[in-house]
A and B are shown apart, each in its own frame.
Chain A
């Protein structure tokens, strides 16, 4: 892990102090001009700011925050969203709201020179641009988009090689997972991303588009809803019975579930015993908020999926890029709801009953 950080840092190097001071001077000059209030000068300031190498970055998108840290730009991040919890360094950074409630006043007060917004935050982008602050609009996409975003973002903040390095590293990790499951039979898989607690109502699954679908395919599974070109869809119990998945992977977003909670969460699946995954005890509950963050840690998620889809080719998990101490050794479920503690992974189904 330390080696990785060194590798990333070696390729990047922050601009020297001289450049930084000059940049700050120009930024403060831009601020003064804005205060004067003439539109012409403001426009000039906008151009000047856009051309600078950003030194004070605010990220409203947790996955982009992770990307910034992975490419060694963590020291330039001055504030993050209220949902950011990774890497641990973000805990001491300022919070500026999130997707629905960005605190524009606070953002402006922090004098950022680049704000990473989500693509749908058009109002915020307009407000920031009016204030002469550069923005980078991001949207969740496919698995390939994660690497592409790291490259693009790296170039945007003057860390071209670090961005490419981080992206290459992710590509290598994903390729390693693909290699592990190459040639193995691809089981029909269903990825559940939400349902009403304690029942099988409003079961929401991954459709055939987006990074979660790509992760299933990368981990050697055949998504039973690959034909529905959507990120997610609600399905009925009839559809689950009809599509007959051989493995069900269910994502939960709490980090440390109590064993009783896991047992209660797995219980409702038993009613659909004709589904092969349930009959054969191959309902896998995975816990962790990071599972749905399309950032550098997706390689770890891919590995978890591969372990769930191909227990015959289980493999230790890759270390997470900035290290969260949860990389674990392979372990096996022997009884219903047996926790595989390092992986926060639980098996359910009639066969283990």
Chain B
């Protein structure tokens, strides 16, 4: 179904589909978020966990539930939702089905920031936000700034080709700098930085989540404004302009909100791959191409998907923790290939 055809669908039909899919994916996300903290490698007594008879400081069951598991599930949900929606937005903006939240160099910038923080041994943490988290967010802003400056043409309209090329080039450039930083760092620090690249959602508390919440909220709020414009932008800029869309503003909003969501997600959980490409495509396969349905569905499904992947990561090889990025890639890669083959048939 083309986006133009989608745009012409009667409003009532869209509303029903929206309700249907949002309740399906919403239920899935809710079940994942509520269920994940109940599952783990340790058998915990829920009555004891919620009991006030034992002070929280001494209550192992409560600390496992409220510090080790619940914040993890919440962080996974936020990061998953942000990466999946950023994927949808960027695929529409760039009119390229292979675009991911990491295509524009945001994650490489974030990675470079965190590498520097780890290699320089920055130990300061303010309000539960470590220097590594702060530096990775700063790195993503830096990358966004460069890509934006490059991609602006004289008419102030984005050149999506330049945007893509700038992003890809910046990715390779930052990767080279990352390799250099790893190379000159001592082996212990180099190992830390490699581990960071695999993603980790064990935030061990709520402060990192609370600190990044304003960023996520701003990004999601911006996403909520965009579906209609994305439907038209994903088709053709001129057609969108002809239908009364302010193309420049829509493009800027899409670019900055997707970058903000990606930067916040990467600084909270590391560059967790595949969520931003597999989830949007799977959701499109199920609900069609209308961004009014796709965008919220992808956010909810992305949240559920990453919560489940993180659950697998922490229980599969326990007591070893498997980096969550490995799980998303192992599940996401073959699944994506299967999608491609199926579509061909």
- Give me the interface of A with B, judged by CB distance under 8 Å: 83, 99-101, 194, 196-202, 204, 225, 228, 230, 233-239, 241-244, 253-254, 261, 264-265, 267-268, 271-274, 279, 292, 350
**Of A253, A265, A274, which one neighbours B186 at CB under 8 angstroms?**
A253
Known: A200-B204, A267-B125. 14 other contacts (CB 8 A): A197-B122, A198-B123, A199-B208, A202-B192, A228-B319, A235-B319, A236-B314, A237-B202, A238-B40, A238-B41, A238-B69, A241-B68, A268-B204, A271-B205
Contacts of B53 in A (CB 8 A): none
CA distance A239 to B313 in the complex (A): 13
| B321 CB–A CB distance under 8 Å | yes
CA distance A239 to B44 in the complex (A): 12
Nearest CB in chain A to that of B188: its residue:
A253
Least Cβ–Cβ distance between A208 and chain B, in angstroms = 11
Inter-chain contact B202/A200, CB cutoff 8 Å? yes
CB proximity to A under 8 Å, residues B27-41:
40-41
- Give me the interface of B with A, judged by CB distance under 8 Å: 40-42, 57-60, 62-64, 67-69, 117-118, 121-125, 130-133, 183, 186-188, 191-192, 195-196, 200, 202-205, 208, 314, 318-321, 323
List 9 A–B pairs whose Cβ atoms lie within 8 Å, in order of A's numbering. Answer: A100-B183, A196-B132, A238-B42, A239-B319, A261-B123, A268-B204, A274-B62, A279-B58, A292-B188
CA distance A197 to B64 in the complex (A): 22
Nearest CB in chain B to that of A205: its residue:
B319
Contacts of A198 in B (CB 8 A): 122-125, 130-132
Contacts of B202 in A (CB 8 A): 200-202, 236-237
Inter-chain contact A244/B60, CB cutoff 8 Å? yes
Nearest CB in chain B to that of A251: its residue:
B188
**Of A204, A225, A350, which one neighbours B319 at CB under 8 angstroms?**
A225
Inter-chain contact B321/A239, CB cutoff 8 Å? yes
CA distance A234 to B186 in the complex (A): 19
Contacts of A225 in B (CB 8 A): 319
Inter-chain contact B195/A197, CB cutoff 8 Å? no
Nearest CB in chain A to that of B269: its residue:
A201
- Given A194-B192, A196-B196, A228-B319, A238 contacting B64 (CB threshold 8 A): yes
**Of A201, A230, A279, which one neighbours B204 at CB under 8 angstroms?**
A201
Inter-chain contact B130/A199, CB cutoff 8 Å? yes
Nearest CB in chain A to that of B192: its residue:
A194
Contacts of A244 in B (CB 8 A): 60
Contacts of A100 in B (CB 8 A): 183
Least Cβ–Cβ distance between B261 and chain A, in angstroms = 21
Inter-chain contact B320/A235, CB cutoff 8 Å? yes
Contacts of B122 in A (CB 8 A): 197-198
Inter-chain contact B117/A197, CB cutoff 8 Å? yes
